[in-house]
Amino acid sequence: MQAPIAKKIEQKLEKHGDIRIDNYYWLNDRENQDVIDYLTQENEYTKTVLQTTEELQTKLFEEMKARIKEDDSSVPYKMNGYWYLTEFQKGKEYPIHKRRKDSLENPDEILFDVNTMAEGHTYYKLGGLSISPNNEMCTFGVDNVSRRIYTIQVKDLRTGEILSDKIENTTGGSVWAADNKTLFYTRKDEALRAYQIWKHKLGTKQEDDVLVFEETDDTFSVYVYKSKSRDYIIIGTSSTVSDEYRYINANQPDANFKIFQERERDLEYSIEHFGNEFYIQTNKDDAFNFKLMKTPIDKTEQENWIEVIPHREETFIEGFEIFKNYLVIEERTNGLIQMNIKAWDKSEDYYLPFNEETYTAGSGTNPDFDTDILRYGYTSLTTPTSVIDFNMKDKTSEVKKEQEVLGSFDKDNYVSERIWAEARDGEKVAISLVRHKDTKLSVETPLLLYAYGSYGYTIEPNFSSVRLSLLDRGFIYAIAHIRGGQYLGREWYEDGKMLEKKNTFFDYIDCAKYLIQKGYTSTPHLYGMGGSAGGLLMGAVINYEPTLFNGIVAQVPFVDVVTTMLDDTIPLTTGEYDEWGNPNEEEYYFYMKEYSPYDNVEAKDYPNLYVSTGLHDSQVQYWEPAKWVAKLRDLKTDNNILLLDTNMDTGHGGASGRFESLKEDAKEDAFLFMLEGIKE
C-alpha cells in the first residue's frame, strides 16, 4: 500500500507582516468527511507497515498484561469513619470503588462498579468522587467522549439511587458544604477553560444554580476545593505566573467569598488551613524556589505573612502536608526528593532516609489531620512502587503494599544510574538510566531517550512494568531531565520557557550526543520519545538534528505552535501565553516560528517516525500531528518509515480501559523493535 498523500489547499496566514502558507489547514475540521477519510487511510497505511509486527504486538500486549496483577486493590485510607479502597477484578478493564465502615474487617459497600457503568461505551472515565460530610451522598463526574468535559451526578449511598441532579459541562470535581446539600463545582467555556464556579442545591435543576465566581481573564483557570481541615471552601484561580484565592467557612455556603490576597503578576502562592492560621507556599520577595509562610485567618493579606521555612537557593519546595502534631515539607535538592518532618512543638526535625542513586518519593493520600502516620510513595527505575505508612513519632515504617510484578521479575536483574551531560552553554543536565544487568554498553546497544521539558513538570525516575519489555530485549531506557522541567528547581523551569525555550531542545540534543560519546549507544540505535509538549520536543529536535536518531515516537505531539497559539478558541491557548509567549507580540511570534516543528519542516532526510493522536483530543488537537505528517510526507527526501496512528475513539490520554492502553504501548515497542530487527 502506498502512503496516503493529503491534498493541498493553500491557506495564507499573515501576522506582523509575515506570511506563512499552510497547505494542510483544511485538516482542522473533524466534521469534514475528507478529513475522516484521510485519517482512516493513514491508519490503514500504519496497519499495513506494521503488519509484520502484529504477532509481536500481541505477544507484547499479553506479556505486559501478564505482569499486572489483575485481581488487585489499592491500600485503604480512612476518612471520616470509613475506609476507602479501589479494587480491580480479573478480566475487567475498570475499577470498583468501595468502602468499609469503621473497620477493615467489616463488609464491603460498593460505591461504583465502573465496569458496569462503562458497558456500551468505547471510552468511559469516572472521576471527581466526593463524599458528603454525613457520608450519605457521593458526587461523581463522567466523561464518555474523552474531551475532559464531565457531567456531574449524585448517588444516594443509602439506597443506591442516582438522584435527578445532572450538572453538565464541568471539570468533574465538586465540593460539599457542611450542610450536606450544597455543592460547588467548576464549569468550562467553549475553549474548555475552567472559568466559573457555581453553587448547586440538591434536588434543584442546573438552570437554578448560582454563579459565585467568574474568571474574566482568559489567561487564568479556576478550581474549587475544601481545606484539609474541612473548615473552608476555597476558590483558586491561577495563571502560569500568578495566583489568587477566595474562601468561605464551609458552614456558611451562602456567604460571600472573601479574597485571600489579590493577584499580582509574578506572585505565586497556594494556601492550606491549620488551627487559627493559613499556611502559604509562595515565591514572595523573589523566593524563586518558594518558601513557607503563615498568616492569621482574619488577616490574610501579604503584609501579614510571617516566614516559617525560609527560601533556599539550592532547595525547591514542591509542597507541604499538615498534621495535628507535624509539618511535612516535600523538597527537591539536586534533582532528588527529600521529605522533611518537623514537629510543631520543635521536638523533632529530620529527613526520611532514601538511599538509591536515582529515585522518587512523594506524599500519598493523607486526609486525616489527627494522626502521626504519614503515608508516602516510593519508587525508582528498578524498584516497584511502594505505599509506606511512616510513624512520625516513633520513626517506624510499614510497607502497606509494594506493586506486585507477576512472572519472573527480579529487581536485582536491573541496574540504574544517574549521569550528568554538559549542555552547550556549560549547564549540567542529569540523565537517569536503567537497563538489564546483562545489557552491555556499546555502539550496538539500542537506547530510548525520553523527555518532556515544559510547564515545570518533572519526569520522575519511576518504575514501569511495561518498560520491562524493552529492557528484557536489550534496550537501555533513559530520561533526560532537561530545562523546562523543574528537576533542578524553579530556575531550571524558567530557563526552558518563553524566549529561553530553545534550551529545552538543545539540552535534549546534547544529552543524546553525550550518551553516544560515552559509548552507551550510537545513532543507528538511538531512539527518542516524547508526548504532548514532549512531542513538540521531538519535532523540534529532528528539525535541528535530523540524522542524530534512528527513530522517533511522538505521542499526541504539539507541533503547530504558532498557529495554535494565535487561535484563542483552542483549549489551553490563552492560559499558556506565559509558558510559550504571546505570538500576537512580534518578538514571541518570530521566536516560536524559529522552532515550531510544523513551520520548519524542510526538504531533507528525517528519521523513522511513529506519530500518534486521538480524534477527540482536547489538549493537542488531532490536526496538529495530521498536518505535520502530511507536510513531512510531501517534503522529506528519505525512504524512512513515517506513520500516523489516530485513535478515532479517544483523546489526549488514550484508551480509558486498564489494559486497552497496553495495546498502544505494544504498538510503539513493536515499531522500535522492527527498526532494531528484533522479531520476538
Nearest to 224 by CA among 273, 174, 189, 270: 174
What does each C-alpha distance from 137 to 80, 100, 129, 154, 517 come to in angstroms? Answer: 13, 15, 10, 7, 60
Active site residue 612: no
DSSP secondary structure letter of residue 483: B
Q: Around Cβ 346, how many Cβ atoms within 10 Å?
A: 7
- Burial class of 49 by CB neighbour count within 10 A (0 to 12, 13 to 18, 19+): middle
Q: DSSP per residue over 30-48, as a string?
A: TT-HHHHHHHHHHHHHHHH
Question: Residue 419: what are its φ and ψ, rounded to 5°?
Answer: -125, 165
Which one is catalytic: 174, 652, 656, 669? 652
> What is the chain's length?
680
CA 262 and chain centroid, separation: 28
Which one is catalytic: 469, 532, 612, 618? 532
> Which contacts qualify for 586-591: CB closer than 8 Å, 24 or more apart?
586/16, 587/499, 588/498, 588/499, 589/15, 589/16, 589/18, 589/562, 590/16, 590/18, 591/499, 591/501
What does each C-alpha distance from 478 to 47, 287, 292 come to in angstroms? Answer: 28, 32, 34
What angle in degrees, to the nearest 10, is found between the helix axes of 33-49 and 623-635?
Answer: 60
Which one is catalytic: 507, 510, 599, 617? 617
Measured distance CA(110)–CA(160) in Å, rounded: 9
The sheet carrying 386-391 orders its strands as 359-363, 373-380, 386-391, 397-402
What does each C-alpha distance from 578 to 101, 240, 505 come to in angstroms? Answer: 47, 6, 18
Q: Which residue has the cell 514532549?
A: 534
Measured distance CA(402)–CA(581) in Å, rounded: 43
Evaluate whether 625 touches 613 at the Cβ level (below 8 Å). Answer: yes
Evaluate whether 27 touches 7 at the Cβ level (below 8 Å). Answer: no
- Coil, strand, or helix at residue 134? coil
Active site residue 669: no
Measured distance CA(201)–CA(160) in Å, rounded: 20
Nearest to 437 by CA among 405, 412, 465, 419: 412
The amino acid at residue 156 is D
Q: What percentage of the chain's residues is helix, strand, coil (to nearest 5)?
A: 20, 35, 40
Measured distance CA(660)–CA(620) in Å, rounded: 21
Measured distance CA(28)–CA(24) in Å, rounded: 8
Q: Around Cβ 347, how many Cβ atoms within 10 Å?
A: 9
Measured distance CA(613)–CA(38) in Å, rounded: 14
Evaluate whether 202 touches 174 at the Cβ level (below 8 Å). Answer: no
Question: Residue 26: what are its φ and ψ, rounded to 5°?
Answer: -60, -20
Active site residue 532: yes
Using left for φ > 0, alpha for ψ between -120 and 50, and beta otherwise, residue 128 falls in left
Evaluate whether 77 touches 96 at the Cβ level (below 8 Å). Answer: no
**Kind of pairing, strands 137-143 and 125-131?**
antiparallel
Report, as residue numbers or ranges, the catalytic residues. Answer: 532, 617, 652
